[in-house]
Amino acid sequence: MKSFDVPVIYRSPLITAIKQKRKATDKMKKDFTPTRLDFGPLKIFLARHFGFCYGVENAIEIAFRTVEENPGKRIFLLSEMIHNPFVNDDLQARGVRFLMDTKGRPLEDIDALTADDVVIIPAFGTTREMEAKLRRIGIQVERYDTTCPFVEKVWNRSEQIATRGYSVVVHGKPSHEETRATFSHSEAHAPTIVVKDMEEALRLGQYIRGELPSEGFQEEFKGRFNDGFDMHRDLSRIGVVNQTTMLASDTQAIADHLRQVMMDQFGLDETSIHERFADTRDTLCYATMDNQTAVTGMLEQEADLAVVVGGRNSSNTSHLVELCEHRLPTWFVRSADDILSRERIVQGDWRTHGGSEEIGWLPERENVTVLLTSGASCPDAMVEGVIRRLAELFPGARAFEEVLQEWAD
């Protein structure tokens, strides 16, 4: 797989050494057991897969190269490059300005752009409408487009099943940039509707079966389907695609449920289900699945707590937190700066994207075991910072450099 030129400030000597050694012994990435870091009184189990994915590294490389190649020009990002505050702050410090916030609300006057300006499309992609608007201004959209290839894969798959007469059900967070972009690209080819979770998928199934009155559909899914969507016509043949950062297991469960609904409603079996339901399992992002599977493997270890590092509004990170919360106390931090002391920590809330200071997060005993992972938009340097900070909290812990040397040898 292609390697990218990511700024050294985002790299970590320890994490790089660990990843290289794990890759050398597990080239096919089939071993999801975590990596054990022994600091004496502190034991850390680091997830097998975590941190920057292909799409994020690609976006960062393009963004920083764009700044270097365009001195003196106005450079804009449509919205956050990725959902990590440190990367976005870094780009802003280099003069990059954001045109919109993550909800699509304007921060700058887009109509004031000129053909001489540079606009970077973030890793989440953007809508066809925004692409058209930028082109009318004279902006070279393709030149600085960092859309993740796996997001584009979902768009292409939607188009493919549309040509075979299927409508598209998008599993995603309706307000998320990627979901808005996927919806826009999908509705250009097929009737499209967005469901955010299994609860909504169950309700959609009830409408398909006729168990709920059709009048309620318009209100319940308002703003989630394209103009002209007809419930009876457009829910008779469907396929499910996803926002790539959702829980892979949730997307699969939603697809399995709706597949069964179509079998029941239309009297189909395994040999004929393709008449009403498209197979779209290949739209799941490999990095999302690897990171989530690695967390599942990590959770098999006995531990006192888990720490997840990443931006509070990061969808893929929030799902890692969600997975850990089902098993043991979990702390969601943006960086080592959120770990204030052995008693105090700033805990992120992935549901509200806020944070609050909490007391008594670390067990009051000499030996503690911590599970550690990070989201796909979190630099390895941030993970190393958390490891260093955790070790500092334990008197008598082995020096960080000593542990690093074990992996560097």
Residues tagged active-site: 178
- 9 neighbors 91 (Cβ within 8 angstroms): no
Q: What does the chain come to in residues?
A: 409
Cβ atoms of 111 and 136 closer than 8 Å? no
Residue 323 CA to residue 318 CA, distance in Å, equals 9
Q: Exposed, middle or buried by CB within 10 Å (0-12, 13-18, 19+), for 4?
A: middle
Helix, strand, coil share (%) of the chain residues, nearest 5: 45, 15, 40
Q: Which residues contact 236 (CB under 8 A, 6 or more apart)?
A: 266, 276
One-letter amino acid at 21 equals K
Nearest to 296 by CA among 238, 249, 334, 343: 249
- Beta-carbon contacts of residue 271 (< 8 Å; ≥ 6 apart): none
Question: Rounded CA gap, 83 and 132, in Å?
Answer: 25
Contact 118, 70 (CB under 8 A): yes
Residue carrying the six token digits 């058209």: 132
**Cα separation of the two ends of the chain:** 25
Q: For residue 148, which amino acid is it?
A: C
- Which strand (E) or helix (H) includes residue 167? strand 167-171
CA distance 25 to 198: 38
Cα dihedral: 337, 288, 53, 47 (round 10): 60
CB burial of residue 379 (10 Å; 0-12, 13-18, 19+) = buried
> What residues pair up with 98 in beta bridges, in sequence order?
77
Q: Whole-angstrom Cα distance, residue 354 to residue 368?
A: 27
Tokens of 19: 């990843």
